Structures are given as C-alpha cells and as structure tokens.
C-alpha cells in the first residue's frame, strides 16, 4: 500500500546512461516525459473513474516506461503492478491503492521535475 508520507525520489541514472551526458538531450527527454506522464496520469484517473479496465491497463503500460526516463522507479513499480493486473481487461477495484500511489506520487514528483528542467 502506498504511504502518503513516502517521499518520491528522482533517480536520473537511466536518463544519464542513454543521453551519454548530453544535457540538452536530457532536457528534451525530460520535457517530453513530463508531458507524456501528465497525459497518461489524466487518462488513468479518467479510466479508473469510468471503470474502464482496458484504458487503465493501457495507461499503466505506457506510464511504466516513461516513469523510468523521468527517474521515478517507485511510481514505475506501481505502473508495472497495474499493467499486469489489467492484462485480463477486467476491472480490479482492489488495485485502487496503486492508482492512488501513481496519482499522488506524480503530484509530488511533477514540480520537482519541472525544477530540474528549469535549471538544465
């Protein structure tokens, strides 16, 4: 279960490894990741409210890879959990904690990422 007191840590190790140290490229990737995550978190929230299992699974699947780029391994784990749970395209209300962890974790991480992008 997600603990609201849990701090989201940003680990850009993967981003640095794929960029080869190119700060400009990292900024582009982070900026793109930020937009993709926001769009897919919004999709996830809407799909959850509408109990649309297929769309929950699709959003989680997309989010898991972009969370890695943005350096959010904690949130990536919740996305993986949802991706697996919703492969059967059935709605799983017991996964509400994972959805809340992604949404609330993203709300915490987003301003931190925006600050990082601003100083690139």
The pTM of the whole model exceeds 0.85: yes
Are 10 and 70 in contact by the 8 Å Cβ rule? The answer is yes
**13-42, pLDDT tens digit by residue?**
999 999 999 999 999 999 999 999 999 999
| pLDDT over 60 (residue 108) | yes
Kindly indicate whether the domain formed by 13-119 is annotated with CATH number 1.20.1290: no
**pLDDT band at residue 2 under the 50/70/90 scheme:** very low
Structural tokens at position 92: 């799983």
pLDDT of the residue at 6: 61
Whole-number Å distance between alpha carbons of 45 and 63: 13
Work out the widest C-alpha separation in the chain, in whole angstroms.
Answer: 43
Whole-number Å distance between alpha carbons of 115 and 107: 14
Measured CA distances, 91 to 41, 56, 72, 85, 100 (Å): 17, 9, 25, 9, 15
Instruction: Using the CB atoms, write b or e for 90-114: b if 16+ within 10 Å.
Output: ebbeebeebbbbbbebbeebbeebe
pLDDT of the residue at 89: 95
Whole-number Å distance between alpha carbons of 94 and 108: 23
**72-104, pLDDT tens digit by residue?**
999 999 999 999 999 999 999 999 999 999 999
**pLDDT band at residue 107 under the 50/70/90 scheme:** very high
């Amino acid at each position: 279960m997600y603990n609201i007191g849990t701090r989201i840590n940003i680990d850009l190790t993967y981003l640095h490894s794929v960029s080869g140290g190119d700060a400009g490229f990292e900024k582009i990737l982070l900026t793109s990741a930020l937009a993709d995550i926001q769009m897919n978190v919004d999709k996830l929230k809407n799909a959850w409210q509408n109990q649309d299992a297929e769309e929950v699974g699709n959003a989680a699947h997309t989010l898991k890879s972009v969370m890695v780029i943005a350096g959010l391994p904690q949130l990536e784990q919740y996305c993986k959990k949802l991706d697996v749970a919703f492969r059967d395209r059935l709605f799983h209300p017991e996964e509400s904690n994972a959805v809340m962890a992604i949404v609330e974790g993203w709300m915490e991480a987003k301003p931190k990422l925006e600050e990082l992008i601003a100083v690139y």
